[in-house]
Copies of this chain bind each other. A is one copy, B any other.
Amino acid sequence: MLKRYLPILEWGRSYDRSVLSSDLVAAVIVTIMLIPQSLAYALLAGLPPVVGLYASILPLVLYAIFGTSRTLAVGPVAVISLMTASAAGAVAEQGTAAYLEAAITLAFLSGIMLAILGLLRAGFLANLLSHPVISGFITASGVLIATSQLRHILGVSGGGDNWPEMLGSIGASLGTTNPWTLAIGIPALAFLFWVRKGAKPALMRLGIADKPADMIAKAGPVVAVALTIIAVIVFDLGEKGVAITGEIPPGLPPFALPSADLSLIEALWVPALLISIIGFVESVSVAQTLAAKRRQRISPDQELIGLGASNIASALSGGYPVTGGFARSVVNFDAGAQTPAAGAFTAVGIALASLFLTPLLFSLPIATLAATIIVAVLSLVDLKTPGRLWRYSKSDFAAHVATIGITLIAGVEMGVIAGVGVGLLLYLWRASRPHAAIVGRVPETEHFRNVDRHDVFTVPHVLSIRIDESLTYLNARWLEEYVLARVAEKPELRHVILMCSAVNAIDASGLESLEAINHRMGDAGVGLHLSEVKGPVMDRLKRSHFLEELNGEVFLSQSRAFETCVADNGEAREPQDHYMARGLI
C-alpha cells in the first residue's frame, strides 16, 4: 500500500554507487539544458524569468518521491506555459503581482486536481483526448507559441491570445522594429536551427563519438545564451533598446501561499482543469514511451499523484504549473538517468544556478530566449498527420482539423474543449449508427460472413444478422428499426438469429430494445434466437427476465444455431409452440 503511493521505496532500496554516477551525469546535462529553457518558458508564460527557475527545483524533488517513471524530467513546458499566460492574462495584467498570484494559484489548483484525480484513480479521463486531437492541439500550440515569440525577435510590443490577434498586433507594430534586437535574434535563430540538425554531424566529423556529440549539440542553447550575453555587454546593446533579462534576485525560491481568494479560484478552476489534463496527457505519453524502451512500466493513476505533488510544490515555492516535458525527458534518458534521483540532483543543480548564476544572466537578451522557444516549438508542428488521417479516417481528420482551427482562432482553452467535444460527438454519432450485416455460412466451414462481401450459403426462411456493436442506449433505437426493417423485407421468414459475437455489452436500454424485438417477433410467429453470446453478456442477461420470455433459443455457436433453424421447415407447427413444446429456455 505504502509502496503504491511512494514508488521511491521501490527503487530506493536497490540504489548503489553505479546508479548514482549515471544519475549524476544525467543531472548535470539536464541542468545545463534546463537553465535557458526555464527562463524562456517563464517568459512565454508572461512571468519574470526567475519564476521558471523556481518551478524547476522543488517540483523535481516531489516527482522523484511520488512519480513512477524512472526518467521523466518535470518542469515548465511550452504548451502549459502558453495556457498559463492565457488563463492568468484573463484575470490580471502581465507584470503585476496579481498576474504572478494567478499563475501560482493555477499551479496550486492544478496540483490539487491532479492529486484528487489520482486518488480517485481517474487516469482514464485522459483517454478523452484522442491522438488526433492531441496532435492537432500540439501543432496549433506550436504555431501560436512561435508567433507569440516573433515580437521579441523583432523587438516590438504586441500580444493576443489567438493567431489573428497576434498577427495583427505584430503587423501593427512592424514599423517600430529594433534593428539591434533583430541583429541578435536572427543569428540566434539561425544558430539554434543549425545546432538542432547540423551540430551533431559537424562534431562527429571533428572526431567526437556519437553519444558525446549528441550531448554537446543539446547544449547549443547554452552557447547561444553565452554568446549573446557577451554581444550585449561588448556592444552595450542594453542602451540601444535591446530588451534584456535585467536583474534577477539571486537566492532560493521564496515560500509562497496560494491565494485563498474565492473569486480568483472561481475564475481559474476551468483553465486549471484544462492545464491539468493537457499536462497529464503530455507527461504520461512521454513517460510511457520512455518506459517501454527499457521494458519498464508506469502507473497512470500514480502519475497523477506525482504530478499533483509537483504542482503543489511549485505553487508553494513561487512557481507556476509544471509537467513532464518531452525534450528534457529524452535528454535525461539519453544521458543515462537510471532513477528519479537524477531529477532530484537536477533540482540541486538549478538551485545552485539560482543562487550563483543569476548575476551572469543580467545581460541575457530576451530575443535569445525567444529564439530558443521558437526553435523548440516549431519541431512540434506536424504537417504529415493531416494527410495520413484524411486517408485513414475522415472523422479523425475532422477532429484533428477542428482542434487546429479552433485553437488558432479561439485560443488554447477553447481548442482543447472543442477538440474533446468534437471527438466525443463524432464517437457518439458513430456509436449511434453502428454497422450490421446479414451473414451466411462460408462453404465447408463453420464460419459466417457478410452476404454482400463473401460467397456464402443462406436459406430463405432463416435470417442471420450479425450486429457489429454493443447494444447500448446510444443505438437502442437503431437496433429496433434495423431488425424490424430487415424482417419486414422477408415474408417467408420463420427464424431470426442475432449473431452476437461482436456484442460486447448490453445495457438496460439495449435490453429493452431486445425485449421489444422479441415481443414483435412473437406476434409475427417468427422465432428469435441469439448465437455466440459472450460470457459477460450472458451472465447479465440471466439476471433479467429476457431469457425466460425469449421466443427461441440461445446457441453457443452461430453454426449450430443456423443448422437447427434450417432443419425446422415449419410445416408441423408455429415456431413459438415448437419451442414451448420442447421446453426450451
Interface of A toward B, CB cutoff 8 Å: 124, 126-133, 288, 292, 300, 388-389, 391-393, 395-396, 423-424, 427-430, 432-435, 437, 442, 445-447, 449-450, 453, 468-470, 472-477, 501-505, 507-509, 511-512, 516, 520, 534-536, 540, 543-544, 556-557, 559
A130 / chain B contacts, CB cutoff of 8 Å: 472-473, 476, 507-509
CA distance A119 to B180 in the complex (A): 59
Q: How far is the CB of A518 from chain B (nearest CB, A)?
A: 13
Q: A507 to B477, Cβ gap below 8 A?
A: no
Pick the contact of A392: B388, B434, B453, B511 (CB < 8 A).
B511
With known contacts A504-B502, A543-B391, A127–B473 Cβ distance under 8 A: yes
Q: List 5 A-B contacts (CB under 8 A).
A: A127-B477, A129-B473, A130-B507, A391-B544, A393-B508
By beta carbon, the residue of chain B nearest A390 is B543
In the complex, the 5 A-B pairs of residues with the closest C-beta atoms, listed nearest first:
A130-B473, A396-B508, A131-B509, A468-B504, A124-B432
CA distance A512 to B447 in the complex (A): 29
A424 / chain B contacts, CB cutoff of 8 Å: 424
Pick the contact of A505: B127, B389, B430, B503 (CB < 8 A).
B430
By beta carbon, the residue of chain B nearest A502 is B502
With known contacts A391-B543, A502-B504, A504-B434, A447–B557 Cβ distance under 8 A: yes
A543 / chain B contacts, CB cutoff of 8 Å: 391-392
Q: B450 to A520, Cβ gap below 8 A?
A: no
Q: B447 to A508, Cβ gap below 8 A?
A: no
Q: A433 to B124, Cβ gap below 8 A?
A: yes
CA distance A557 to B454 in the complex (A): 13
With known contacts A432-B127, A520-B292, A392–B445 Cβ distance under 8 A: no
Q: B127 to A512, Cβ gap below 8 A?
A: no
Q: A396 to B507, Cβ gap below 8 A?
A: yes
With known contacts A131-B473, A392-B540, A472-B427, A501–B502 Cβ distance under 8 A: yes
With known contacts A127-B473, A427-B474, A508-B130, A535–B393 Cβ distance under 8 A: no
A536 / chain B contacts, CB cutoff of 8 Å: 435, 468
A430 / chain B contacts, CB cutoff of 8 Å: 505
A388 / chain B contacts, CB cutoff of 8 Å: 508, 544
A396 / chain B contacts, CB cutoff of 8 Å: 507-509
A507 / chain B contacts, CB cutoff of 8 Å: 130, 393, 395-396
Pick the contact of A127: B391, B446, B449, B475 (CB < 8 A).
B475
CA distance A433 to B505 in the complex (A): 12
By beta carbon, the residue of chain B nearest A452 is B535
CA distance A135 to B453 in the complex (A): 41
A446 / chain B contacts, CB cutoff of 8 Å: 445-447, 559
Q: How far is the CB of A324 from chain B (nearest CB, A)?
A: 16
With known contacts A124-B432, A477-B127, A132–B509 Cβ distance under 8 A: yes
A520 / chain B contacts, CB cutoff of 8 Å: 292
By beta carbon, the residue of chain B nearest A430 is B505
Q: How far is the CB of A420 from chain B (nearest CB, A)?
A: 10
Q: A508 to B392, Cβ gap below 8 A?
A: yes
Q: How far is the CB of A130 from chain B (nearest CB, A)?
A: 3
Q: B540 to A393, Cβ gap below 8 A?
A: yes
Q: How far is the CB of A256 from chain B (nearest CB, A)?
A: 35
Pick the contact of A504: B300, B435, B511, B512 (CB < 8 A).
B435
CA distance A261 to B391 in the complex (A): 47
CA distance A475 to B126 in the complex (A): 10
Q: B131 to A476, Cβ gap below 8 A?
A: yes
Q: How far is the CB of A493 from chain B (nearest CB, A)?
A: 15
A127 / chain B contacts, CB cutoff of 8 Å: 428, 432, 473-477
By beta carbon, the residue of chain B nearest A536 is B435
